[in-house]
Amino acid sequence: MHFRIFLVSIAVLPAMLISCGESRHDNTLRIIHAGSLTVPVREAADSFEISRPGVRILTEAWGSKAGARRISDLNMPCDVFISADYKVIDNFLIPEHASWNISFAGNEMAIVYNSSSRYAGEINLDNWLEILQRDDVVYGRSDPDSDPCGIRSVFLVQLAGILYDDPEIPDKILSRHRNMIRPKETDLLALLETGALDYIFLYRSVAEQHGLEFIVLPDELNLRDPGLNDWYARARLEVRGTIPGETMIEKAEAMVYGITIPCNTDNPDLANDFVGYFLSESGGLAIMERNGQHSLIPSISETWEQIPGELRQYALPVAGYPKCN
């Protein structure tokens, strides 16, 4: 987990449950975000603070599911939640803990490595599966129960088995190096840097942000193209559900990031301002593009009617969910 305090330290405030729309006029903004968004969220926070003197921004990076559970299960104060998978907001937060969801950016999966990785000079699109199965190669991935990148890594491998007509591929890949599964994808970067890992199943944007090498996978595997959602849906996985002890089946689709303001926000006015900046072409979207993620704004939102009026321009309407209770 990454945790930063801007400008000055402050005392930890108790969690306060207030209704959506009520403002405390506090200059502190708390953001829980996906680990893969660490770099762009940091840049956006810095830029927003410059434009709003006196505003302090606290950020926490988690696997998106783990971050959502901090809100839903632990009642942690959060003013803005940004997920690497919009469905995490739908499944874990709406309607009890949030009332709307805006899909705003895409990404793609890649096989990531560095110059010191074993067979770095040899690996390519044609042989990456064979190299990952070599006895002296170690690779890592994140936890599907905590992190969307983890489940997308599994989907990628399942789709490879279908694409290359080899049903043994998923077991050959996923059964190895289970001790190298980590809570979120960015936890694996240090292991790659120290040589404990040779390869990571990782987002292309994170690889680009950290100057790493990567294999560009075909669209049939990289989960980038919404036009291939029928193909992607052939990959499915049973994962931990929203309630302890329960599970649910997730099916693959093109990766789409989502953002919301939780109902327990301490400062909805400031949160609205930040989200508006983060979704604007000259603000956060430009930062996202520089960091390797393409914009999906405006996108269809089934919660459009619940989105604050000033933010509706970033979404397209369909039938809505109920408001926060």
Q: Which of 218, 296, 197, 316 is nearest to 256 (CA)?
A: 296
Domains belonging to the chain, first-starting first, are 3-106+256-317 (3.40.190.10), 109-239 (3.40.190.10)
Secondary structure class of 87 (helix, strand, coil): helix
Q: What is the DSSP letter of 164?
A: T
Q: What are phi and psi of 152, to 5 degrees?
A: -70, -30
Higher pLDDT, 22 or 75: 75
Average pLDDT over residues 55-69: 95
pLDDT in tens, 76-89: 999 999 999 999 99
For residue 57, what pLDDT is reported?
97
**More confident site: 156 or 19:** 156
Q: Report whether 42 contacts 92 (CB < 8 A).
A: no
* DSSP classification of residue 320: P
Q: Treating both helix axes as pointing N-terminal to C-terminal, what angle do 38-51 and 268-278 enclose, rounded to 10 degrees?
A: 110
Q: Does position 99 have pLDDT exceeding 90, yes or no?
A: yes
Helices then strands, each counted (H, E), the chain: 12, 15
Is residue 217 within 8 Å of residue 156, measured between CB atoms? yes
pLDDT in tens, 12-55: 333 333 334 444 457 999 999 999 999 999 999 999 999 999 99
229-276 pLDDT, tens digit per residue, is: 999 999 999 998 888 888 999 999 999 999 999 999 989 999 999 999
In the chain, the N- to C-terminal Cα span, in Å, equals 30
- Rounded Cα distance, 61 and 206, in Å: 14
**What is the mean predicted confidence (pLDDT) over 288-304?**
95
Is residue 260 a contact partner of residue 101, using CB atoms and an 8 Å limit? Answer: yes
- pLDDT, position 242: 80
- Tell the burial category of 324 from Cβ atoms under 10 Å away from its Cβ (0-12, 13-18, 19+): buried
Please answer whether residues 119 and 126 qualify as being in contact, where contact means their C-beta atoms are separated by less than 8 angstroms: no
Kindly give the residue spans of alpha helices, DSSP state H, lying in the chain. Answer: 38-51, 64-72, 86-88, 128-132, 148-163, 169-174, 189-193, 204-209, 219-222, 229-232, 268-278, 284-290
The SS3 of residue 315 is: strand
Neighbours of 119 (CB within 10 A): 18
